[in-house]
Structure 1
């Protein structure tokens, strides 16, 4: 086999195996000057004296694309070096195929999205390491091992952290472009979305707003929005609308509802926006516990947070509470000195903390006395957990571990001759406290799941109340009353509509119970509310269809004018005009502008109750409302990630960089 040397085309590099620069540029010729527009960043470069060195330098410095390295990837996989030159063409043909040496002809332009989205592309690997794995930008420039590994893969890393940052930003732009296309596709299918958002303050004392868009199947994190100055309700709405607009969404026509916490500014945002507002049930559960267990003082201020407390000792591998920041939310009292429990349990828990600290501060007592009995009893080493006084979930983890090891603790206290001892009454009170708080912990974890809906939230809350009633203690009764009050603040008509669309018989049973906390709206109110939803989301669709009908009518009028002018039409042309007329009359019937949704809903509701099959509009409403989340925990997850990103080591990141990293982190996590 003979190999012919490829011809030198315009824009090729010095070596035959290298890739042409015109895969990344578009030629622009004005008068006598020739320019090149970069397809990756749209920059326009001048070509002087027919030299393309500036184009190659731009690719290498701006986009970290070295054409010589890309050409080296065309070699056969597994070869350590290029084949040695040989005078015999037969030997060369046997060792290296023709495709390994001569690249296939490529088009002058490339698909930017596909270029960046290759799994083995340097842009994706660098972006994934920065956003998902938490690798600092400077490490790509300072780590000799990392640079060596990239070079062995055929990539040449830049020498500046700013260039690494540009790579991440460019990759984020391609992901955003794909997301805009996906939103547009879902909108054309008649899908609607819901929002969840919250505020967060970083270590640099910068405030951000995280915005998430929820679809029935998945969610989309739109990044962090920097808040400058006072964040009023009007300013918050403006920030949300601008970010939605940048992704091709409209809050009036594409958003059915939103989930927020119960802060006053968020409540006002819900009143000003057209969509439904769902206050976070997870915060309601937390506040119900705070109302009962902690003393009420005027100076107490409650705020949601997921930042780990330095005083809490939750490094034990067997506990699950240290991962609650990724699964749910916790409530922190801003003034730790005022975080005092009610007298009924304060003295008891103070005694529990003293016992935990006694063993934690003495390795001798911990190893020789306590762990000796623990290993005999459980077969493995289990350490005690010290709670954070401002978090009831860490308090639950502490007393659960203490109660589990109560026999071992009693024996160890006797061996060391300590005055601290627990009687049967105290152990009974600890058990009552555990039984009362465990349903709350389970409910928070269930509500904060990504697949949770308002229907699952309704079942979860009822389950918690039923469990509290079965315990029949003073604490469980108080918690039940507090939880009833918090549920009433957060339950809306949307839940009643979803219950009806899920099971009309169950809805009728709940309606007849007449329970104050879980009151069901009347069927008439449900129908009127669903009518408002249809009128709101079909208004824009009607306007679009009316425009299409006008265009069709104009086309037919032109065709009729053509028929009057040309009397000698062929049979084929006459048939075409007849078909256009028939299609126009059919399209006019489909105009839904003047449709009576009240009558349509009555018919579909009657058929649904008798046959159990939801009609077109009932199914659409059900899909709309299922996007509304019962909690705003998705924003809390983003804040946990942002706190991990904006650490003391990486405290100099700019607002755009933080927004990009959070946005891409969610993108990479969704690709698991």
Structure 2
């Protein structure tokens, strides 16, 4: 202020010096805010806390909003930053692409590696996709249950695979990923679609268990049902009528008028997609909803296409209703698996049993309905035979399904017997690890330095039979008793309602059932579908866009990793706030 008064009195220079806010500027930032003799603010040094915070914020903005690096050179962006902080000088795009974003990626990766190392088990899902620049990528996602019983999912990596997508090549890529992220000792499970190369990849990489995506399985089973001759003919008839309304604006306008007159919802007709069976069911549902308006429209003189309506008879309408009725539970199951945040593997066995029960033939079934049910039952019942043990074990460890009512008594008891054995083995493994930790590290060296003991007659006669070693039988019996008691206690508890969260239940019963809680954390982390890796495709399409079609594979990996990690952190913050 004294300098300002001196310049105004002696040199006729008027300078307005804004008073710095103590709360927002401190230390080196205060010195950088001092104006020069011409009243201009000095630039903010790069090593100040304020400058580093702004640079880090811009880097997170680029990753979260999937902006190209060139955004830092855009006129509008630079004007906005200059308005917010005139002293800050925006670094070059090269600085962000070669230093800032890679450093953010490394620090975030280290944080994730720590979480993976603390987990009991890690489950992986994987799928491949092709960018707009025809680059082929394979994305791997990881799923785990934290020590606080929170289901967490992360994108581990996205790698180019320019070789043939054979099971061997994908398997080697999965094996390298486990080595890079040091999760090979976490007994990683694998969830993929039903493609033959993915099945081979799981065997090559040695994943146990390897579970096929339940949503993808439902899709394959349902597509076979839609290819039954009578159903396929019916879908063809409906498809031709729907195509007419999609081609003709006159037909669409007339249909809208008829809907308003008849008091029906003003909805457009849906066209099915050959790769999505549920789109065929949705097409039939919409057609049945609007059939009176469709009939009135087709009979109108303006269209002169009255012959079209005669392709659908009353039998066809009845068959369409039967298809919708049969496929309704399948559609609900598919929607639940795709929309639920983290459906675990424990849902597969009871849901498969429920759907097979629904597909049993009834007396009033038509020939087409009976053929659809038979086709679906034959295919669906042959699925998951190799992974049935882990599916039933996961269901038994889920407090919602622990009663296993879909099994016969003999099979139900066998499942819990195996669960008791697994619990006993986990206790013994833990005891062995504790014994190794308690053993002094130099015991072996002392044994070597100790002079050899002279063998006596008793040693020569019975040394190999009655060795002086601790007896392990009482420990084994004790472990089996503890495991059996805990399993019996768990089975006697009231099942959790289906609307409740199984992980929250285990969080409140972890101290009461410590052995089974550890097994539950290991099993329930496995997702029932590979939807998590497939959802990366939409994000990847926004990242590898026409604006950034030449983006390097390393940058693609970093962007997808940081984008998905920021989404996970955002969801977790909302959960904490709520």
Seen in structure 2, the aligned counterparts of structure 1 residues 364 and 234 have a Cα distance that, compared at 3 Å, is closer
Give the Cα separation in 1 of the matches to 2:64 and 2:165: 30
Give 1:405 deviation, angstroms.
1.1
With the length of structure 1 as denominator, give the TM-score of the two structures.
0.63
Seen in structure 2, the aligned counterparts of structure 1 residues 376 and 659 have a Cα distance that, compared at 3 Å, is farther
Specify which of 133, 156, 159 is matched with residue 225 of structure 1: 159
Seen in structure 2, the aligned counterparts of structure 1 residues 412 and 378 have a Cα distance that, compared at 3 Å, is same
Q: 8 Å contact 1:531–1:598 — kept in the other structure?
A: no
Q: Residues 428-443 of structure 1: matches in 2 within 5 Å?
A: 428-443=318-333
Give the Cα separation in 1 of the matches to 2:115 and 2:543: 27
Seen in structure 2, the aligned counterparts of structure 1 residues 99 and 394 have a Cα distance that, compared at 3 Å, is closer
Match of 1:192 in 2: 121
SS of the counterpart of 2:395? helix
Give the Cα separation in 1 of the matches to 2:5 and 2:25: 10
Q: Gaps (5+ residues) in structure 1?
A: 6-81, 107-111, 295-341, 555-590
With the length of structure 2 as denominator, give the TM-score of the two structures.
0.72
Give 1:534 deviation, angstroms.
6.1
Q: 8 Å contact 1:117–1:124 — kept in the other structure?
A: no
Match of 2:453 in 1: none
Give the Cα separation in 1 of the matches to 2:83 and 2:474: 66
Specify which of 390, 395, 399 is matched with residue 499 of structure 1: 395
Give 1:398 deviation, angstroms.
1.9
Give the Cα separation in 2 of the matches to 1:504 and 1:388: 36
Q: Residues 447-462 of structure 1: matches in 2 within 5 Å?
A: 447-448=337-338, 449-462=340-353
Give 1:219 deviation, angstroms.
1.0
SS of the counterpart of 1:487? coil
Q: Residues 244-283 of structure 1: matches in 2 within 5 Å?
A: 244-247=178-181, 249-251=182-184, 253-271=185-203, 273=206, 275-283=208-216
Seen in structure 2, the aligned counterparts of structure 1 residues 97 and 126 have a Cα distance that, compared at 3 Å, is closer
Match of 1:103 in 2: 27
Q: Residues 548-563 of structure 1: matches in 2 within 5 Å?
A: 549-550=439-440
Match of 2:532 in 1: 634
SS of the counterpart of 1:174? helix
Give 1:491 deviation, angstroms.
4.0
Seen in structure 2, the aligned counterparts of structure 1 residues 608 and 649 have a Cα distance that, compared at 3 Å, is same
1:365 and 2:251 correspond: yes
Match of 1:600 in 2: 479
Give 1:153 deviation, angstroms.
2.5
Give the Cα separation in 2 of the matches to 1:285 and 1:149: 50
Give the Cα separation in 2 of the matches to 1:384 and 1:244: 48
Give 1:624 deviation, angstroms.
0.7
Q: 8 Å contact 1:213–1:219 — kept in the other structure?
A: yes
Give 1:488 deviation, angstroms.
3.9
Give the Cα separation in 2 of the matches to 1:160 and 1:506: 56
Count of residues in Structure 1 that have an aligned counterpart in Structure 2: 486
SS of the counterpart of 2:298? helix
Seen in structure 2, the aligned counterparts of structure 1 residues 100 and 293 have a Cα distance that, compared at 3 Å, is closer
Seen in structure 2, the aligned counterparts of structure 1 residues 529 and 377 have a Cα distance that, compared at 3 Å, is farther
Q: 8 Å contact 2:141–2:532 — kept in the other structure?
A: yes
Seen in structure 2, the aligned counterparts of structure 1 residues 594 and 144 have a Cα distance that, compared at 3 Å, is farther
Give 1:400 deviation, angstroms.
1.9
Please, which moves more after superposition, 480-489 or 278-287? 480-489
Q: 8 Å contact 1:137–1:164 — kept in the other structure?
A: yes
Q: Residues 130-529 of structure 1: matches in 2 within 5 Å?
A: 131-141=63-73, 143-154=74-85, 155-160=88-93, 163-164=96-97, 166-184=99-117, 186-187=118-119, 191-216=120-145, 217-230=151-164, 233=167, 235-247=169-181, 249-251=182-184, 253-271=185-203, 273=206, 275-294=208-227, 342-367=228-253, 369-377=254-262, 381-415=266-300, 416-418=303-305, 419-421=307-309, 422-448=312-338, 449-469=340-360, 472=365, 473-489=369-385, 491-502=387-398, 507=403, 510-512=406-408, 521-529=414-422
Q: 8 Å contact 2:66–2:563 — kept in the other structure?
A: no
Give the Cα separation in 2 of the matches to 1:117 and 1:635: 37
Show CA shifts across 1:279-311 (max 9, x none): 2222211111233323xxxxxxxxxxxxxxxxx
Give 1:468 deviation, angstroms.
3.5
Give 1:384 deviation, angstroms.
1.6
Q: Gaps (5+ residues) in structure 2?
A: 10-14, 31-45, 146-150, 445-469, 494-508, 572-578
Seen in structure 2, the aligned counterparts of structure 1 residues 105 and 552 have a Cα distance that, compared at 3 Å, is farther
Give the Cα separation in 1 of the matches to 2:536 and 2:292: 42
Q: Name the structure with the higher helix share.
A: 2
Give the Cα separation in 2 of the matches to 1:116 and 1:617: 50
1:653 and 2:551 correspond: yes
Give 1:241 deviation, angstroms.
3.9
SS of the counterpart of 1:196? strand
Give the Cα separation in 1 of the matches to 2:260 and 2:90: 52
Seen in structure 2, the aligned counterparts of structure 1 residues 503 and 104 have a Cα distance that, compared at 3 Å, is same
Seen in structure 2, the aligned counterparts of structure 1 residues 226 and 361 have a Cα distance that, compared at 3 Å, is same
Q: 8 Å contact 2:278–2:331 — kept in the other structure?
A: yes
Show CA shifts across 1:110-136 (max 9, x none): xx9x98999x7443444444x443433
SS of the counterpart of 1:209? strand
Q: Which fold has the larger relative contact order, with Cα–Cα distance below 8 Å and residues 6 or more apart in sequence?
A: 2
SS of the counterpart of 2:183? coil
Show CA shifts across 1:113-162 (max 9, x none): x98999x7443444444x44343333442x32222222222254445467
Show CA shifts across 1:419-455 (max 9, x none): 1113322211111122222322221222233321122
Q: 8 Å contact 2:225–2:372 — kept in the other structure?
A: no
Match of 2:564 in 1: 666
Q: 8 Å contact 1:510–1:520 — kept in the other structure?
A: no
Show CA shifts across 1:433-492 (max 9, x none): 222223222212222333211222333333333433487432552254135334344642
Give the Cα separation in 2 of the matches to 1:598 and 1:412: 79
Please, which moves more after superposition, 609-618 or 413-422? 609-618
Give the Cα separation in 2 of the matches to 1:180 and 1:363: 57
Seen in structure 2, the aligned counterparts of structure 1 residues 360 and 270 have a Cα distance that, compared at 3 Å, is closer
Give the Cα separation in 1 of the matches to 2:476 and 2:513: 13
